[in-house]
Structure 1
Amino acid sequence: MGSATTQARTATAEALTAASGVDLDVARELFAAVGAVSGSAQLSGALSDSSAPAAARAALVTAVFGSTYRETSVALLRRAAEQRWSNAAEFVDGLEELAVRAAAVADSSADIEGELFQFSRTVASNGELELALGGRLGNASAKSSLVSTLLDGRAGAATALIVSSLVQNAHGRRVRALLRRASAIVADQRSSIVATVSTATPLSAEQRTRLENALSARYGSAVTLNTVIDPTVLGGLRVQIADDVIDSSVSTRLAELRHRIAG
């Protein structure tokens, strides 16, 4: 990712924070804009062309989306188009990130990170489902309908919108990777980090609270726990935050002991 894109993402995220009236309809329109822009090389190229004046790129946004999208959505798209992006692909990725952030803002009390994690686990355990959702040959509307069926009663509207929108615009990207990225974006929007905890048995409410507090103190940020029940852990915990792993599981300690005995 180029430095121009990094600055553009920051400016776009700040515009979202300052915006008013961000609801799920706005998030839905932003996701629709992602589909429109990614589906047109001419449009994505024009909106990300740093040699063109920022005002001209913003005016193009208004011309394309102004008559059908809400004012808040158009203003956010204009702000994104005004930035300097390293290339058209990163501009599209930036719009997708903006849409995910908007969904997180629209439903700030929902456990979107946890719901995305659980759906990712469902996909990981079913190769046919992952192929159906991520395959290039599938019909976009059929994928959206499948997501709606799978998440009905199991996730909130914001999560369902994020997942269905991502699978409709997967463009060959792996579904699990899209869900992990979305979860990280939501966590960042909420100024928190996501910890994946592997344990042999479910954690009690008290254990979860103690662990959340300990991790928050260690990393200086609010922590969301995603729990994986893994009988092979035997006892203790294995915690992963990004590339950082804290492993106090019995299985790991036994493996280390066997290694030392073997010499």
Structure 2
Amino acid sequence: MGSATTQALAASIKTLAAAKDPSLDTARELLAAARAVSESSQLSGALADPSAPAVARQNIVTTVFGAFSAGAQDVLKTVATERWSNAGELVDGIEELAIRAAAIAEPGVDIEGELFGFSRVIAANPELELALGSRVGGEGAKSALIERLLAEGSTSAASTLLITSFVREPRGRRIRRLLNRAMSIVSSQRGRVVATVHTAAPLSDAQRTRLSDSLSRRYDGQVALNVVIDPAVVGGLRVQIADDVIDGSISARLADLRQKLAG
């Protein structure tokens, strides 16, 4: 992400935060805008053109997205006013704003956990990931497949909106990468970080609370847990937060011991 994009995104996030009660409709409209801009090189080029007057770029927003809510239009006008490093990052920025809008609209929903759960389903089914990423089959077939999968659980409207959008418009990206990015954005919006915990056996509520509290103290902020049952861990835990890995598993200790004996 270029420095211009960083500043543009920060300004756009402020406009979103100032919007009056962003709803899932706001998120839906922003996702639709991201898709429209992505599919039109003429539109993306016009909005990302730093040589064009800001007023002219805002007028484009009014012309193209005039049927959107006032909140969504305000956010898109800020996007159009700011300078982005390139048109691709402008589209990514609109998509991020949509994800943040969904997180704001559903504050009591564990969106990160639901996206993580869906990501694990895909990870366990390579054929499913291939089907979702393939250009064969068409958008309608993929959407129908996702609807069937989500209907089997109790996925929230916010997570359903995001997952469906990612499947319809991956823009050459793998679905799990999109889900991981969305989880990170939702956590950032909510002022917390997510720890992925690998354990051989499920954690009790008390264990989850102790681990979350311990990590929150270590990272000086709220930490949410995504737990993966992984028999390869053998015992103990393997915790990953961003690029940090805390490996207290028995398998890691055995590997370390073997290395010492071999050396």
TM category, shorter: over 0.9
Q: What is the aligned partner in structure 1 of residue 34 from structure 2? A: 34
What amino acid does structure 1 have at the position aligned with 2:89? E
3-state SS in 2 of match to 1:163: helix
3-state SS in 2 of match to 1:201: coil
Q: Distance in 1 between matches of 2:255 and 2:23?
A: 50
Q: What is the aligned partner in structure 2 of residue 119 from structure 1? A: 118
Deviation at 1:261?
Answer: 1.8
Kindly indicate whether residue 92 of structure 2 is the aligned counterpart of residue 93 of structure 1: yes
Q: Distance in 2 between matches of 1:139 and 1:248?
A: 45
What amino acid does structure 2 have at the position aligned with 1:198? H
Q: Distance in 2 between matches of 1:252 and 1:10?
A: 40
3-state SS in 2 of match to 1:86: coil
The 5 A counterparts of 1:122-137 are 122-137=121-136
What amino acid does structure 2 have at the position aligned with 1:35? R
Aligned residues of 1:31 and 1:99 also touching (Cα < 8 A)? yes
3-state SS in 2 of match to 1:59: helix
1:95-122 per-residue CA deviation (whole Å, 9 max, x = no partner) reads 0101111111111111110111111111
Q: What is the aligned partner in structure 1 of residue 79 from structure 2? A: 80
Kindly indicate whether residue 261 of structure 2 is the aligned counterpart of residue 261 of structure 1: yes
Q: Where do 5+ consecutive residues of structure 2 fail to align?
A: none
1:126-181 per-residue CA deviation (whole Å, 9 max, x = no partner) reads 12211221223342233222222211233111001011111111122111111100
What amino acid does structure 1 have at the position aligned with 2:109? A
Q: Where do 5+ consecutive residues of structure 1 fail to align?
A: none
Q: What is the aligned partner in structure 2 of residue 218 from structure 1? A: 218
Describe the shift of the 1:85–1:138 C-alpha distance in structure 2 as closer, same or farther (beyond 3 A). farther
Q: Distance in 1 between matches of 2:54 and 2:158?
A: 31
- 153-162 vs 92-101, greater mean Cα deviation: 153-162
Q: Distance in 1 between matches of 2:189 and 2:141?
A: 30
Q: What is the aligned partner in structure 1 of residue 168 from structure 2? A: 168
Q: Distance in 2 between matches of 1:137 and 1:5?
A: 34
Q: Distance in 2 between matches of 1:126 and 1:259?
A: 34
Q: What is the aligned partner in structure 2 of residue 23 from structure 1? A: 23
3-state SS in 2 of match to 1:196: strand
3-state SS in 2 of match to 1:238: strand
Q: Distance in 2 between matches of 1:70 and 1:126?
A: 39
1:196-232 per-residue CA deviation (whole Å, 9 max, x = no partner) reads 0000101111110111111111111111100000111
3-state SS in 2 of match to 1:259: helix
Q: Distance in 2 between matches of 1:33 and 1:138?
A: 24
Kindly indicate whether residue 118 of structure 2 is the aligned counterpart of residue 109 of structure 1: no
Aligned residues of 1:136 and 1:171 also touching (Cα < 8 A)? no
Total equivalences in the alignment: 262
Deviation at 1:43?
Answer: 0.4
Q: What is the aligned partner in structure 1 of residue 236 from structure 2? A: 236
Q: What is the aligned partner in structure 2 of residue 156 from structure 1? A: 156
CA RMSD of aligned residues (A): 1.1
3-state SS in 2 of match to 1:198: strand
